[in-house]
A and B are shown apart, each in its own frame.
Chain A
Amino acid sequence: MSVDVLIPETTDAAVEAFGDGTDITVIAGGTIVMQLLNYRRITVSKAMLLNKAGLSYLRQSDSTWTVGAMTPLSDLLGMFSPLGACAANVADHEVQYQATIGGNLCAPTPPEHPSGDLQGPLIALGATVRSVGAGGERTDGVEEFLASRAGRLVLDISFETPQAGAFAALDRPHTRHFTALAVSGVKSGDTVRLAATGVGPVGVRLLSAEAAAGDPEAAGNAALADAVLRDDALASAWYRERTLPSLVARVLNEIKEAS
């Protein structure tokens, strides 16, 4: 069971080695793939480690931020809400040093749980994802990317500094790699964008709640129309149904206060 492991030392080399993504397992921080390997859930014939590929960077130009795919969550902790607050809510310090924003966007959906907590704030921020793969380089909105991420290698993610933002999540009795339910909100101009994780296989934009954003309570109830609720080991659909509205309302109230 020999494995071909590539460790490209430039971004160009990583892009070339990735090709169209066929039969290659990308390891960013390792916090997802290593669990699967430890439990012998996947077999890997060719793997690429990105730790030397020059993809860890956080650039700011005026109000535009560009974050390299290999940027660890620990580098995002001081950022504005909902992104900074969400990063701080992921697992614990050790995992935050290792886990990356690119890996989080590509987190697979296990049979039960949605994972990839950062998908929520990035959808709310209206971020764009620059990726390569079959057909070359592409820049998509986060939702488009999530719908077509197979065979893509994330290079970086861009977004604007929001006017105001907020994040609310279910409390956890102990640290977890992903959160049972979390809501992110971002205000820009007169509109508020809302997104949630834990209510579908990937992060979900809460369009119905956005339409009712003027009334936080009504928006909370409207959010249920955007969610596909399931039971898993962390929370039942019943529990999620009762907590999603209050998290949405909390986020909207916080944004109101902040702006």
Chain B
Amino acid sequence: MKVVGARLPRYDGVGHVTGQTQYVDDVRVQGMLWAKALRSPVHHAKITHLDTAKAEAMSGVHAVVTWRDVPLLEYGHLSALGIPADEPLLAKDTVRYMGQPIALVAADDEDTAQAAVNAIEVKFEELPTLFDVRNAFDEGAPKIHQWGNWYPHFEGDMDRRQIRKGNIEDAFDRADKIISGVYRPAAIEHVPLETQVSLVVPEPDGRLTIYSCTQALYFSLAVVAAHLEVPMNRIKIVGGTVGGGFGGKVDTATETLTALAAMKANRPVKWRWTREEEFLVSSTRAPWHMEIIDAVTEDGWILGRKMLTLHDSGAYARFSPYGLTKHSFHHTGAYTIPNLHFDGYVVFTNRTPTTAMRGFGVTSISFAVETHLSRIADELGLDPYEVRLKNANRINDTSPNRIRYTDPSSVEVIQALSEAAGGELAPAYAGATRAPREGEMLPEHLIGQLKTEGH
């Protein structure tokens, strides 16, 4: 065991401190062009006119790509799982968020590319906008997505992610108190120091070499191949060194469009987003709207939870249905609640499409659950650590999606937190373990759970 517990140098440490580590933007190829995008200046509009003739005629411009150049215009991030696609690679007749790409220009340098973008004639007929998920269900709310204002393609053609467990009505009937809270964490930008960038080199044998900052290389390979309608063996993606991602580089943001421009120009093309594009257009962590209503007893047991989640997906679905699913599985947090009624919707708005970020779908619910646990303790006048330890997951408890916990760490973590915060637990809680429930830690409502789960 020479390695376990040893302090080993990072394999890439010396490269980092000498500037030798090569990121996508550091790759050098001959004859490379620079790309710039025409993006929607409005949040929601019909495109009534798009004419690239003047841009194409400009000296130094080698390719202008619009929706007409894309073999398969719509391919969803979850298409490989059989989920329908909703987002065009380039806007065709409608733009649904500010910054949505409409055209990409490849030119000798960035100045020329930007001048050509400015020369593209485009006209819009603006449409009503929707920015707040809470208004999406209103009668008369603007219709902002071709599928309606919320995602309709969960399994069994359900329009929501739904969890039903135990007997929720009975739990609320037996409650001493009903405690509710609304939690709304905001969108967060990942802010990698390296902005979105790719470099695509058309090779003499007809293949494409794509240098990409992607966090999900094989995923990007499939997405690019699908849009281009070419077999995957025509594409070689070179990744590996990412200048910060944090989930924001899971989406295939630049590779496909850069590839189309490189193919059309038959020259290497690099598309590197500005910091402003990174902030305004790159996907963010979703803003969430979460409503929790808990049925609790006076001594701090949570008998049941009703919950509504509105996940702001932005203008297109991307990974949001997956994020909401993870969210739903975690909606009791580190705690065991036997009776559940959860409805979650992926709601479309005219905001930048949202995506994965560290703990996709789960940080939002963790924030809401922990805040709510403190609220419960506060309203009941109980110690917040003790309320947590009571309800904390133990061996043989079950998750919202009926997974039996065999190795839960909730009890130890909460005890460590209490100690770190300088608190003193009552002996019964200081000595609590994750062992299967018995005695005072096995109240009637949880006996019921074990029965219904068959343990």
Cβ A39 vs Cβ B276 within 8 A:
yes
Report A-chain residues with C-beta under 8 Å of the C-beta of B111.
1, 40
CA distance A40 to B110 in the complex (A): 9
The verdict on B406 contacting chain A, using a C-beta distance below 8 Å, is no
Report B-chain residues with C-beta under 8 Å of the C-beta of A39.
274, 276
Q: List the A residue with the shortest CB-CB distance to B118.
A: A40
CA distance A40 to B276 in the complex (A): 12
The verdict on B114 contacting chain A, using a C-beta distance below 8 Å, is yes
Q: List the B residue with the shortest CB-CB distance to A1.
A: B111
Report A-chain residues with C-beta under 8 Å of the C-beta of B114.
40
- Judged by DSSP, the binding face of B is helix
What sequence of 0s and 1s flags, for each residue 92-130 of chain B, a beta carbon within 8 Å of any chain A beta carbon?
Answer: 000000000000000000110010000000000000000
Within 8 A of B (CB), among A1-44: 1, 39-40
Minimum CB–CB distance from A34 to chain B (whole Å) comes to: 14
What sequence of 0s and 1s flags, for each residue 272-298 of chain B, a beta carbon within 8 Å of any chain A beta carbon?
Answer: 001010000000000000000000000
CA distance A1 to B111 in the complex (A): 9
Size bin of chain A's contact surface: under 10
CA distance A37 to B114 in the complex (A): 12
CA distance A62 to B284 in the complex (A): 57
Minimum CB–CB distance from A105 to chain B (whole Å) comes to: 26
CA distance A1 to B112 in the complex (A): 10
Number of A-B residue pairs, CB cutoff 8 Å, is 6
Q: List the B residue with the shortest CB-CB distance to A40.
A: B114
CA distance A45 to B114 in the complex (A): 17
Q: List the B residue with the shortest CB-CB distance to A233.
A: B279
CA distance A39 to B275 in the complex (A): 10
Q: List the A residue with the shortest CB-CB distance to B110.
A: A40
CA distance A114 to B276 in the complex (A): 19
Report A-chain residues with C-beta under 8 Å of the C-beta of B110.
40
Minimum CB–CB distance from B58 to chain A (whole Å) comes to: 12
Minimum CB–CB distance from B265 to chain A (whole Å) comes to: 21
Q: List the A residue with the shortest CB-CB distance to B276.
A: A39
Minimum CB–CB distance from A112 to chain B (whole Å) comes to: 13
Minimum CB–CB distance from A40 to chain B (whole Å) comes to: 5
Minimum CB–CB distance from A94 to chain B (whole Å) comes to: 16
Report B-chain residues with C-beta under 8 Å of the C-beta of A40.
110-111, 114
Report A-chain residues with C-beta under 8 Å of the C-beta of B274.
39
Minimum CB–CB distance from B223 to chain A (whole Å) comes to: 29
What sequence of 0s and 1s flags, for each residue 31-70 of chain A, a beta carbon within 8 Å of any chain B beta carbon?
Answer: 0000000011000000000000000000000000000000
CA distance A1 to B114 in the complex (A): 13
Minimum CB–CB distance from A60 to chain B (whole Å) comes to: 41
Minimum CB–CB distance from B101 to chain A (whole Å) comes to: 18
CA distance A155 to B358 in the complex (A): 52
Minimum CB–CB distance from A10 to chain B (whole Å) comes to: 33
Q: List the A residue with the shortest CB-CB distance to B113.
A: A40
Report B-chain residues with C-beta under 8 Å of the C-beta of A1.
111
What sequence of 0s and 1s flags, for each residue 161-186 of chain A, a beta carbon within 8 Å of any chain B beta carbon?
Answer: 00000000000000000000000000
Minimum CB–CB distance from B244 to chain A (whole Å) comes to: 16
CA distance A1 to B108 in the complex (A): 13
Minimum CB–CB distance from A250 to chain B (whole Å) comes to: 30
CA distance A257 to B4 in the complex (A): 60
CA distance A1 to B109 in the complex (A): 12
Minimum CB–CB distance from B104 to chain A (whole Å) comes to: 16
CA distance A39 to B111 in the complex (A): 10
Minimum CB–CB distance from A187 to chain B (whole Å) comes to: 42
CA distance A249 to B274 in the complex (A): 41
CA distance A172 to B332 in the complex (A): 36
Minimum CB–CB distance from B81 to chain A (whole Å) comes to: 38
Minimum CB–CB distance from A133 to chain B (whole Å) comes to: 30
Within 8 A of A (CB), among B223-243: none
Q: List the A residue with the shortest CB-CB distance to B117.
A: A40
CA distance A237 to B265 in the complex (A): 49
Q: List the B residue with the shortest CB-CB distance to A37.
A: B111
CA distance A1 to B110 in the complex (A): 12
CA distance A40 to B114 in the complex (A): 8
Minimum CB–CB distance from A232 to chain B (whole Å) comes to: 14
Minimum CB–CB distance from A83 to chain B (whole Å) comes to: 31
Q: List the A residue with the shortest CB-CB distance to B112.
A: A1
Minimum CB–CB distance from B419 to chain A (whole Å) comes to: 30
Report A-chain residues with C-beta under 8 Å of the C-beta of B276.
39
Minimum CB–CB distance from B350 to chain A (whole Å) comes to: 20
CA distance A1 to B60 in the complex (A): 13
CA distance A73 to B111 in the complex (A): 32
Minimum CB–CB distance from B61 to chain A (whole Å) comes to: 14
Minimum CB–CB distance from A243 to chain B (whole Å) comes to: 21
CA distance A40 to B116 in the complex (A): 12
CA distance A39 to B276 in the complex (A): 9
CA distance A40 to B34 in the complex (A): 14
Minimum CB–CB distance from B127 to chain A (whole Å) comes to: 24
Minimum CB–CB distance from B387 to chain A (whole Å) comes to: 33
CA distance A163 to B276 in the complex (A): 44
Minimum CB–CB distance from B113 to chain A (whole Å) comes to: 10
Which 6 residue pairs are nearest across A and B when measured between Cβ atoms?
A: A40-B114, A1-B111, A39-B274, A40-B111, A39-B276, A40-B110
6 contacts between A and B (CB under 8 A): A1-B111, A39-B274, A39-B276, A40-B110, A40-B111, A40-B114
